[in-house]
Structure formats: structure tokens, C-alpha cells
Structure 1
Amino acid sequence: MKAVVIRTFGAPEGLEVVDLPVPAPGPGQVRITTEAIGVGGVDAVIRRATIGGLGLKEGHLLGSEAAGTVDAVGEGVDASWVGRRVWAFTGLTGAYAERAVAAVEDVLPLPEGLTATDAVTLGSSGVVAHFALDRARPAPGESVLVRGAAGSIGLSTVQLAAGRGAGAVAVTTSSAERGERLRDLGATHVLDRSGEGGADAPEGFDVVIDVVGGPGLPGIVDRLNPNGRYVIVGVVAGQPPADFGTRLLDGFRKSLTFATLSLDTVPNADRQKVRAAQFADAARGELRTVVHDVLPLVDAAKAHRAMDEGTVFGRIVLVP
């Protein structure tokens, strides 16, 4: 089968299309003939080796989520899964391929009316957005800033924050055209990537959901209101400065809260319950998915170049 591996960590050119044996599902697993593969920020972080300690080696098969049809099951898995259209989380590896395996507890049937492309656009990002907002607890009328709103997590967060009754949903993005598209999804104020602009935008925010991280993070911490809550869910711009915590202590009298969120800490049953509800909402048109482009699997490097260039609005999807 065709698959995409990391031959050299770093630039997109380090991705290589290879032929690999078709994997057999192990105990408790299903195998999926993939129809759509999500290209997410976490894939870029892994490819760049931004986060250390993962123990990944050259030849790593990239990808964490795919949708398609179950074609085989492993020991202990009900055979009725065969032939079902599903979304699957494959962990840190395995989705960028014509066939993928996943633990059956990480597989979710697709409702009627939801395409495989929509499933991988929403499957991980929508759940991250949901639990990030749960951690930040924005009350009705409070202001929310979504930093890095043009990605799939940010787009889901904008919609969910607006749906929870936020008084203002501000976003950071790179262009006026993107800003208008974000307004259509529920944003009320549009700022540039540094958090500036928007003459009518709030000076401070009660909640920040941050997908970006990077060197600009301390300046956004400064924008928190008293009792403000900051939740970081990604570091697509790299690690923040090592001393960014001093900004929190400088604002000691504001009683600020800073938190990280990884879905690894959310019980799987809770993730799947929220994901199933979001899939149903999307199938009814009540939660919108935004697809930037659909590319052949062999063009994975092109997809990653677009992410590195910052030109992606929504999610890129690969198809075998």
C-alpha cells in the first residue's frame, strides 16, 4: 500500500511516499480502507520535531485520523464492524496510508449525511475546542479571544464559543478576507496575528484559547482581564519564551489562570460522546466544517508546505 513517512525530520521535503505491507489488525483493532485523511497541526509539529521526548525515529508513518470503511477486524472485535463507514483516531502514527488500523474504542461510526472529508475535518479539532472551552468556562457575556482561528481547531472554537453565548468572540488572523469568513462563523471582532487592530475590539479578554504558542504568547497573556483564563491547545508557532511565566506573576493581582489542554487527559468515553454529538450536528448543518483543499495522498509534502507558509484556512484533507 502507498503511505507517507518522515524520512528526515524538519522541512516538508523530508516526507517520502513509500510502499508498505498492508497492516493486519491486532487484538482489539479494526482495519480501515481510508477514504479521507486529516492533515492537522499536530502532524506538522511531529514532522518538525517541535516537541521532544516522543521517541520517534526516521521512517515514522505520519497521521492521526482517518475516515473510511472497516475491511477487517482483529481478535475480540465484533465482525459486524466490517463494512461500516467510520472515523478513527490512530494515535501519533498510521493515518497517512491507504489502509490504517485503530483500536476499536477509538473508532466511531459516521452518521448518514456526513462525508469522510467532513469527519476528518471535525473529528479531532471539534473535540479539542469543546474541552478547551470547558476548561476555560466562559460565562454568557464574557469575551473570548481565539488565537490562530484560521485552523480547524480555531474555526470550531469560534463556532462553539458563539453558540455558548460569548459576549464577544475575537479572533487573530492574517487577512481581512479571512476575517470576513470568520465573522460568518460567529466572530465579532477581527485582530491581526499580534492581537492588534479592530478599533471596536475589547482591550482585554476574559478567556483566551490559543492554538499558536510561539514568541507572541506573553503579549497575549497581558491582554487577560482580571480573573482571566488562558488555555493553550497547540504550539504551531513553536514553544513560547522560557520565561513567559513571569508575565503571569507580573499580573499577580489580576488572579490569572494559565492551563494546557491535551485530549490525552480526557477520558475516551467523554471524547467519543462529544464527537458523536458534533458529527450529528455537522450532518444536520448545525456545525460547519471548513475544508481548505483536498489533495492526493502522494501530495502530503505540498499540504505541509501550505501549513508552514500559513496559507491554510480550515483543514487540508488527503485522499488515497
Structure 2
Amino acid sequence: MKIVEVPVPSPRAGEVVIQTEAIGVGGVDAVIRRGTLGALGPSMPQDGLVPGSEVAGTITAVGEGVEASWLDRRVWAFTGVSGGYAEHVVARIENVTPLPTDLAAVDAVTLGSAAPVAHFALRQAYFTRGEAVLVRGAAGSIGIAAVEIAARAGARVVAVTTSSAERGERLMEYGATHVLDRAGNSLRGHEPAGFDVIVDIVGGPALPAFLTRLVPNGRLVLVGLVAGPPPADFGSVLLSRFQRSVSVATFSLDTVPRADVARVRADQFDAAARGDLSAVVHAVLPLEAAADAHRRMDAGDVFGRVVLTP
């Protein structure tokens, strides 16, 4: 990864140009960088790729069909699966959400993608008040949001898996009641008997073991593959528990109507500005330190979101 100079982009019809204030560094950026996007989407060319998918900043130019009133507005934007690590980026106007006056750009890119994923993943799982929820891989921005949203919505138990008791202590500040290690063994508090809902950001070879933690009619929703895909035969675990009616679903925000996502994101930004939703920032680094941000993610040292600033 290296810094290069390129021309400031010009917007096409339906697009805006944003001068960035903050750039989110997500786990999917690292997966794309490695060329291992795999089941999460199409392969990306490595040569000349500009990583990054979410930014916050000020609109400096609008394309044909975009109202001039958008000029000079502070916004969050999704740039696609690439293009975000830059001082100026282009986004489709339908992928732009205005920012509340009191919300910092750094907080916006910490929540803008992660919090809607957490919200809609819990909806995909048909989560209801009083149920027991496990968030697997809870130290990232999606996981922290899922913990906080489930707790505030009245989950009876909010358990988390994480790499250490220390991280578990931090997650309890956001609503976790039980802390498990990555294998599912208790690090703090008694080990819950089972879970109605598992929000899984990890996937990987250990996923089948977590299927056995679902109570009858339990639902696991897979929202990420940080540890890679599950074993090809993981469905045999489901079949072995046929009479318990457990289920597995995948979830991508791409399947939710954009208007619904934008509405929820705007509500979450307002909640964050009021202090009712937490934006957990691990570190703010200059844009030229993007490679260091990725090294930190690869090392598993990140709690929350790493943010770049131009």
C-alpha cells in the first residue's frame, strides 16, 4: 500500500464529490486487500486498487440530477467496495446520509455501516425482547453495535466471544452480561445453557460448534467471514439437530431497501449525537498510515474501529 497523487474526481450524473474528514477502515477492506473476498463478493484487482467503502466529509460538487442544496453539506457516504482511502471521493447520492450537527465525522464512519448491519441482522434473526443473544466476534464495530442494540432492546442475556477477559470487561460496558472465549468457554460468569440468537461475524471452522449452542427454534445469522468460510459439511450439524428446529441464515445489507437502511442509519446517527449509541474508536491515524491500520487489524489488536484522516 502506498500514497499516490491522482486528479480530484468529477461527479457523473447522480453522483457527488466529497472532501473527506474521516475514512472508516473495515474488516472487509483487509479481506479485499488480501484478495480473499471469496464468498463475500467478486474478486477485486489488486494493482491500483484504492481500498475503503465509507467516508464522512463535505460535499464539494454535484453531478447532473443532484440538487444543488447538497453542496457544502456534511454527510456520511458509502463509496462501494473501493475508493474510500482518498482526500476526495465520489459516491452515488442514494448512498449518502446527512450528518447531525453534533456528530463528529470520526464517529460517523465508526457507525455508518456497522450499526445498520447489527440492527438488521437482529431483525433477520427475529430477535424479540427477553431472548438470549450471543455475539460471536464482538470486539469489532459490528459486534459492539450488536451488543449495545440487543441490550437496549431488552435481551435477557447478551453473551460475547472475544480473545481475552480484558476485552470482555470492556464489552460489558456496552451491555454484555457473559463473556466467552473464542471456543465458547466461559471467561466471566456462569456459562449460559444456550442461545435463542447468535449473530456471527466470524464464521470459520468453529462455526458448527456454536450451532450446538442454539436452543430449540434458535437462529444463527452469519454476517461475516473473518475466519473464513465454515466447513463444507457444517450442514450435517443442523441435520443432527433436526428435532430442535434450529436454523442458519446469511445476511448482507445489500438485501435491505436503501431507503430503509438510510432511515435506520439516520436514526442511529441521531442516537449517537444524543449519547444513546456508542461509537467506539480504537485509533485515529493519518491517511498515509493506512498500511499500519491494516497491520493492526491483521494482528487482531483492534477494539472498535480504526479511522483514517486526510
- Check whether the contact 2:121–2:251 (CA below 8 A) recurs between aligned residues: yes
Please show how residues 117-132 of structure 1 align to structure 2 within 5 Å: 117-132=106-121
Q: What residue number does 1:182 align with?
A: 171
* Cα offset, 1:256, TM superposition: 0.8
Q: Residues of 2 paired with 1:116 and 1:306: CA distance?
A: 22
Contact 1:41-1:236 within 8 A present in 2 as well: yes
Check 1:276–1:226 CA distance in 2 against 1; reply closer, same or farther (3 A cut): same
State how far apart, in whole Å, the 1-side matches of 2:129 and 2:98 are: 33
Deviation at 1:199, TM superposition (A): 4.7
- The answer on 1:282 being equivalent to 2:272 is yes
Unaligned runs of 5+ in 1: 1-14
Which whole-Å CA distance do the structure 2 matches of 1:199 and 1:271 have between them?
36
Q: How does 1:83-102 map to 2 (within 5 A)?
A: 83-102=72-91
Gaps of at least 5 residues in structure 2 are none
Where do residues 33-112 of structure 1 align in structure 2 (5 Å cutoff)? 33-52=19-38, 54-58=42-46, 59-112=48-101
CA–CA distance in structure 2, aligned partners of residues 216 and 16 of structure 1: 35
> What residue is the counterpart of 1:149 in the other structure?
138
CA drift of 1:282 comes to 0.2
Structure 1 counterpart of 2:267, one-letter code: A
1:313 to 295, 303, 306: 303
TM-aligned CA deviation for residue 79 of structure 1: 1.1
Quick check: 2:179–2:189 contact (8 Å CA) kept in 1? Answer: no
SS of alignment partner, residue 301 of structure 2: coil
User: Which residue identity does 1:85 align to in structure 2?
Assistant: R
Offset from partner CA, 1:118-161 (integer Å, 9 cap, x none): 00000000000000000112222210000010000000000000
The one-letter code sitting in structure 2 at the alignment partner of 1:57 is: P
Matching residue's letter, 1:138: F
Match of 2:12, as an amino acid?
Answer: G
Paired with 1:285 and 1:240, the residues of 2 have a C-alpha distance of: 37
In 2, Cα distance between equivalents of 1:16 and 1:235: 27
The alignment status of 1:20 with 2:10, answered yes or no, reads no
- Structure-1 separation of matches of 2:290 and 2:229: 24
The runs of at least 4 aligned residues of structure 1 exceeding 3 Å deviation read none
The CA deviation string for residues 260-310 of structure 1, in whole angstroms up to 9 with x for no partner, is 000111000000000000000000000011000000111111111111111
Q: Which residue of 2 aligns with 1:243?
A: 233
For residues 131 and 104 of structure 1, the distance between their equivalents in structure 2, rounded to whole angstroms, comes to 22
Take 1:38 and 1:289, find their aligned partners in 2: how far apart are those partners?
A: 12
CA offset digits 1:172-202 (Å, max 9, x no partner): 0111211111111000000111111145131
Cα distance in 2 between the residues matched to 1:55 and 1:135:
27
Once residues 256 and 115 of structure 1 are traced to their aligned partners in structure 2, the CA distance between those partners, rounded to angstroms, is 41
Task: Write the distance in 1 (CA, Å) between the matches of 2:6 and 2:298.
Answer: 27
Partner of 1:273 in structure 2?
263
1:295 aligns with 2:279: no
In the alignment, is the contact (CA less than 8 A) between 2:37 and 2:43 conserved in 1? no
Query: Which amino acid counterpart does residue 18 of structure 2 have in structure 1?
Result: I
Alignment-derived partner of residue 165 in structure 1: 154
Q: Are 2:14 and 2:92, in contact at CA under 8 Å, matched by a contact in 1? A: yes
Question: What is the alpha-carbon distance in structure 2 between the residues aligned to residue 48 and residue 194 of structure 1?
Answer: 26
How many residues in Structure 1 have an aligned counterpart in Structure 2? 306
The yes-or-no answer on 1:113 pairing with 2:113 is no
Normalised by the length of structure 2, the TM-score is: 0.97
Which AA in structure 1 matches 2:17? Answer: R
TM-score (norm 1): 0.94
2:171 match: secondary structure: helix
Aligned with 1:205 (options 195, 214, 220): 195
Cα distance, 1:37 vs structure 2 = 0.2
Note if contact 1:170-1:201 (Cα within 8 Å) is conserved in structure 2.
no
Does the CA contact (< 8 Å) of 1:144 and 1:168 recur in 2? Answer: yes
Within the candidate set 249, 261, 265, 1:259 is matched to 249
SS at match of 1:60: coil
Tell me the CA shift for residue 317 of structure 1. 0.1
Alignment of structure 1 residues 212-223 onto 2, 5 Å: 212-223=202-213
What is the root-mean-square deviation in Å for CA atoms of aligned residues? 1.0
